[in-house]
Amino acid sequence: MDFLKKLGIKEKNFGASTGLNWIENTNGGELNIYSPTDGKYIGSVYQATVEDYEEVIKISDEAFKFWRTFPAPKRGEIVRQIGDVLREYKEPLGTLVSYEMGKSLQEGMGEVQEMIDICDFAVGQSRQLYGYTMQSERPQHRMYDQYHPLGIVGTITAFNFPVAVWAWNAMLATIAGDTNLWKPSSKVPLSAIAVQNIIAPVIKNNNLPEGLFCLIIGKGSSVGEKMLNDKKVPLISITGSTDIGRHAAIQISKRFGKYILELGGNNAIILTPEADLKMAIPSTVFGAVGTAGQRCTSTRRLIVHESIYDKVKNTLVDAYGKLRIGDPLNKENHVGPLIDKSAVALFKDALNRLEKEGGKVLFGGQVLEGKGYESGCYVFPAICEAENHFQIVQEETFAPILYLIKYFGDVQNAIELQNGVVQGLSSGIFTNNMREAELFLSAEGSDCGIANVNIGTSGAEIGGAFGGEKETGGGRESGSDSWKAYMRRQTNTINYGTTLPLAQGIKFDI
């Protein structure tokens, strides 16, 4: 395939990179990668060993000693160049993301566009790493705070966003003066290798040292655990399940490291009687079936007022009947495959559990077979009637299942249902009632990190801080002031006088 050649993807690839060089070690075992699109073999990766990891860390640590002295605006210039080279490779990289992961080609291209956008954001941020000046209570003293680089920033990414989440973290960490170590999902490692190949010329052409952008592809039980427990990695950003995040947080906390957690989502949209359904229905469908329901921001619950429930249900069933499911590289299709057959099994199990709890599958839910579906990873997105307290509804199933939940009375009852889960990532309400909208956004409203009015749960812009509360982990990435997470804060006091007054009026004479 031409796009693989353009990206430097070979039949056999190595799993450890220092940004300029690949560690050619075959002792870690070979990982074969197949596309969920057609089930065909794409290539393989020789997984990194713990010894490879140690070598990469050593080189990255040396690079940090140089990079922290590089002026932040000049670091921003490197990021600008990375953004430009990503523009050149947007089409082949977006195609690989789509083919390796299974998301639609439009979404694959959109993911690379996110990378470009965060580069642009980070370039501007490189000149705005602000601290604050404070008034001292002591005469002839000046106080201020400032931010310094942390060191090596580790980023552990999930399969559903093979490249964009790395960029959210890496570009901000780079302008902050940190070096980067990336451990991608073993389900989509080729996209990560492609990114390393794309940015390597930027490092080389600017005569920068290796170690600024490192990659490690290896087993979680060996390389992953080593990373979590490594004091040389002061911050690790982790995207994954709540269980993975809980384990990682414990391990990192034991060494007093820092972490950013982007974990499970059980996102809901509320439709009140005053919702504009012409806007709400398309938004709900995209949120529920986009990326085959494998986004952390996917719409999983639709909480609908009783007065419009039947109309919404019938309209949704009609909309789902028009979905085109198939090869994600075909721009005519809406929905591609799930990532693998284990995800299909989870999809089927969730629907079985729903029916045992008293729920009902209204539409969809089939595993698709026959021509075009040979990989065994295609399913028809399901619409289900459910109640919020069902155990299966309380959990996050990473698949295209939309639970319709009826609410009665005023919007506060809907908000209580929405908040009545352990996750707290994204949320939305459709209403033309200003009071309902403002209540939803107030302290009494949504308890999620993201709360939208007349917008769905999926499709966040990079300019806002991304992340959630409760078992979503509490982390924030991407825009706003998220750059502060990648730096250490320091308070400074300068005495430019000739006496030594103490704070709080304490006297100490000798």
Q: Give me the catalytic one of 111, 114, 214, 296.
A: 296
Catalytic pick among 111, 114, 262, 471: 262
CB 274, CB 427: distance < 8 Å: no
List, in sequence order, every residue forming a beta bridge with 453; answer none if it has no partner: 429
- 427 neighbors 446 (Cβ within 8 angstroms): yes
| Contact call for residues 164 and 114 (beta carbons, < 8 A) | yes
DSSP state of 163: T
The pair of three-digit structure tokens given for residue 290, joined into one six-digit string: 């986009």
262 given a catalytic annotation: yes
- Is 119 known to be catalytic? no
Residue found under tokens 């950003």: 237
Under 8 Å CB-to-CB from 427, ≥6 apart: which residues?
267, 268, 269, 270, 418, 440, 446, 448, 450, 451, 452, 457
Rounded to 5 degrees, φ, ψ at 144 are -155, 165
Q: For 304-309, which contacts have Cβ atoms below 8 Å and span 24 or more sequence positions?
A: 304/270, 304/271, 304/404, 304/405, 304/406, 304/407, 305/271, 305/272, 305/273, 305/406, 305/407, 305/408, 305/414, 306/406, 306/407, 306/408, 307/273, 308/271, 308/273, 308/275, 308/277, 309/404, 309/406
Q: CA-to-CA distance for 474 and 444, rounded, in angstroms?
A: 19
Residue with tokens 């994600």: 328
Q: CB of 144 within 8 A of CB of 133?
A: yes
> What is the rounded distance in angstroms from the CA atom of residue 254 to the CA atom of residue 252?
5
Q: Beta partners for 43? A: 33
CB atoms within 10 A of CB 289: 26
Distance CA 127, CA 383 (A): 48
- Nearest-angstrom CA–CA distance, 266 and 71: 42
Sheet containing 401-407, strands listed edge to edge, beginning at the edge strand earlier in sequence: 360-363, 382-385, 401-407, 299-305, 267-271, 426-430, 450-453
Any idea which residues carry the catalytic annotation?
A: 262, 296
